[in-house]
Amino acid sequence: MVTSPDRFWWGVATSAFQIEGTGDDVPRGESVWDEFCRRPGAIADGSDARVATDHVHRLSEDVALVAGLGVDAYRFSISWARIVPGGSGPTSTAGLAFYDRLVDELLAAGVEPLPTLFHWDTPLELEQAGGWLERDTAQRFADYVEVVAAHLGDRVGHWITINEPREVTMLGYALGAHAPGRQLLFDALPAAHHQLLGHGLAVQALRAAGATSVGIAMSHEPVRVVGTTDDDRSAADLYDVLNNRLFADPVLLGRYPEGFADLMPGSVEDDLRLIAAPLDRYGVNYYSPAFVGAATGEGADVNGVTMPDGLPFAVHDVPPGWTGERTDFGWAVAPEDLATLLVQLRERYGADLPPIVVTENGCSYDDPMVDGHVQDDRRTSFLAEHVAALRTAQEWGVDVRGYFVWTLVDNFEWAEGYRQKFGLVHLDPDTLERTPRASYAWYADHIRSSR
């Protein structure tokens, strides 16, 4: 039975590369992240995701943890390289069977499956042919989506096409901090366009397969101006365009911000008609605001990402004089900015904005285990304050229909490796034993009391 998209969904989220591992009995092809992990110094702790949380062998245990929260839905991603190992060509029956089992066990546990079809793990062969800089990758993505939708569509009604195209573009192609590790700066813009085109083609394929509802998951940062000058405000506005509107405007309005369509490849106007296909939900991933002021001409390290010299704005991890809390990742804790962001989206896009689902929100805190128990009060406070901010946005008239915590269990946190602990469930790095933290119990209790 498919859950109505009109009700409010409580959920929890993961992604394939970060948890699954590479078990020989459930093989997958290599992705750009496998290659990136082999580069000296690319991953902060020198690790890789060959084992990750070993989800491929602990699927039932993890589904039980999901169900134990009492969530309505579980947002997971499907590994493109596990379904189509080379990115195009033959389909893996073992890969499809793995996701068959996951979907069936979720449904048997009373949890709605919410698959994301691309969460950063581009098949390596496609990247070697140009990756998202090439238009063909968007079509290969659509072909893969057709396969998955045809196979799972009898049990899965709700889908997310792409997760955070901004991060792939900016961190992967522009700055080189993430896979594929290119440093193209503004020449990375074709990667943005081709991911959005892939999204549009995927929507088309999912609709043809009878999908009940379709959405996308976008990362958004409300931008706080650092400084008081016109240059500070102009720099913050440009950052907002590049990191928020460049990705949202094409999807929601069918156009790029002024001047950017001319920088994109191909028949942009025709592509935009596909990119702006109507959606049933708009996913918002929120962690922290951005603090931006006038350019200084000098690069800086911002929460582990090296910002090069010569950018037209200066990004700060926190503003001068910041006295607020920061997570163990160094990110500013600002729950009020979630409410600000949701209202801003409604004001900016009006009737063109579908109902919002907060598809990711969470924090990294490494509280110690004592006698088999992790009392992670900071994470509990973080989640409680952000849920309260979401409720405030609803009171202010924003149509928000879901909240998904990132993440279920400590995992491979991309370029940070295993240093950052986002899980409601603690993972022992040696034994892979899962131990629910106090925040897990808080979230389960909150969900029960909210119904």
Question: With contact defined as beta carbons under 8 Å apart, do 293 and 314 qualify?
Answer: yes
Which position among 112, 125, 221, 360 bears the catalytic label?
Answer: 360
Distance (Å, rounded) from C-alpha 314 to C-alpha 309? Answer: 10
Which residue shows structure tokens 């196979």?
Answer: 151
258 belongs to the catalytic site: no
Which position among 20, 112, 125, 164 bears the catalytic label?
Answer: 164
Distance (Å, rounded) from C-alpha 80 to C-alpha 123? Answer: 7
CA distances from 102 to 55, 99, 121, 407, 445 (A): 10, 5, 19, 17, 25
Distance (Å, rounded) from C-alpha 35 to C-alpha 52? Answer: 15
221 belongs to the catalytic site: no
Question: With contact defined as beta carbons under 8 Å apart, do 210 and 272 qualify?
Answer: no
Closest of 414, 300, 423 to residue 44, by C-alpha: 414
Residues taking part in catalysis: 164, 360
